[in-house]
Amino acid sequence: MEVQPCLSAPCRYDDCKETADWLLARTKQRPKVAIICGSGLGGLADLVEDKIVFPYKDIPRFPTSTVEGHAGQLVFGKLQDRECVCMQGRFHYYEGYSLHTVTYPVRVFFLLGVETLIVTNAAGGLNGNYNVGDVMVIKDHINLPGFCGQSPLVGCNDDRFGVRFLCMSDAYDRNLRALAIQTAHEQKCGSFLREGVYCMVCGPTYETIAECNLLQKLGADAVGMSTVPEVVAARHCGMRVLGLSLITNKAVTDYESNEKANHEEVLATTRLRTQELQRLVRHLVKKI
């Protein structure tokens, strides 16, 4: 039975296929793993061997990243002899993109044949037991924009991507989380590894003290401005997902505090923890 085009679809299948076909025609790599590198974490892609680099501006229908710390290129190659593709720089709702555009690369990955998505981000620590420099394995998330109807799945559903009504109780793959924790201990990273709940806010402002206190009460351990839309799109396409948050600052929850969140602190912390995080992901990819 012929599939009728969905004119109101947020991410049209044919557009994503055009992008995927363009990439497949220009590389022999057929990655099963994709990695989205968050703020300051683009160095993960620098470890890729036999790499082929595609600047976003050269890829048909691809958006471009405008945030400092995001290089804005797609890197195909091998990590520990495993073929993968890395996004050096993601897209955010606060940049003015729709969530459909933010998640466009994820749907392209699906059409490339990717089966596992690793998402990384820089996040503020809400959990009082977390320290700056900790790495949190995401076990669940709170999708605040989704509560307000902001979702990459809004619009006409195309069954070639996934089902209309998506289950999210298993958003972050249990086996991948266990594998990440095991690998972290093997690589001597266990002392700063955590497991918790990530909350997405739209940004680009950092949270007020009242908002941080509210998010703590909701059960969030870390807060950031990304990741959740890509996870939703990946699960819609049937990919397994692993999420890693680098805690780059502690959320301010006390009105007597003089601390202020800022992007420079975020980038500085990622530089300090880069080598450990790269080692963790590199050895993890080998086991997937």
CA distances (Å), origin 222, targets 179, 210, 259, 273, 281 = 21, 15, 17, 17, 20
Choosing from 195, 213, 263, 265, which is the catalytic residue? 263
Choosing from 83, 95, 207, 230, which is the catalytic residue? 95
Choosing from 220, 225, 233, 239, which is the catalytic residue? 225
CA distance 30 to 28: 6
Choosing from 34, 45, 56, 70, which is the catalytic residue? 70
Structural element, H or E, at residue 155: none
Choosing from 171, 249, 251, 276, which is the catalytic residue? 249
Question: Is 258 one of the annotated active-site residues of the chain?
Answer: no
Question: Is 122 one of the annotated active-site residues of the chain?
Answer: yes
Choosing from 226, 233, 236, 276, which is the catalytic residue? 226
Question: Is 92 one of the annotated active-site residues of the chain?
Answer: yes
Give the pair of three-digit tokens for residue 133.
């420099």
Per the CB < 8 A criterion, the answer to whether 60 and 148 are in contact is no
Question: Is 185 one of the annotated active-site residues of the chain?
Answer: no
CA distance 76 to 70: 17
Question: Is 263 one of the annotated active-site residues of the chain?
Answer: yes
Question: Is 70 one of the annotated active-site residues of the chain?
Answer: yes
CA distance 9 to 136: 34
Question: Is 226 one of the annotated active-site residues of the chain?
Answer: yes
Choosing from 92, 100, 141, 236, which is the catalytic residue? 92
CA distance 68 to 267: 9
Question: Is 98 one of the annotated active-site residues of the chain?
Answer: no
Choosing from 20, 122, 171, 233, which is the catalytic residue? 122
Choosing from 9, 13, 18, 94, which is the catalytic residue? 94
Choosing from 39, 127, 143, 151, which is the catalytic residue? 39
Please give the positions annotated as active site.
Answer: 39, 70, 92, 94-95, 122, 225-226, 249, 263
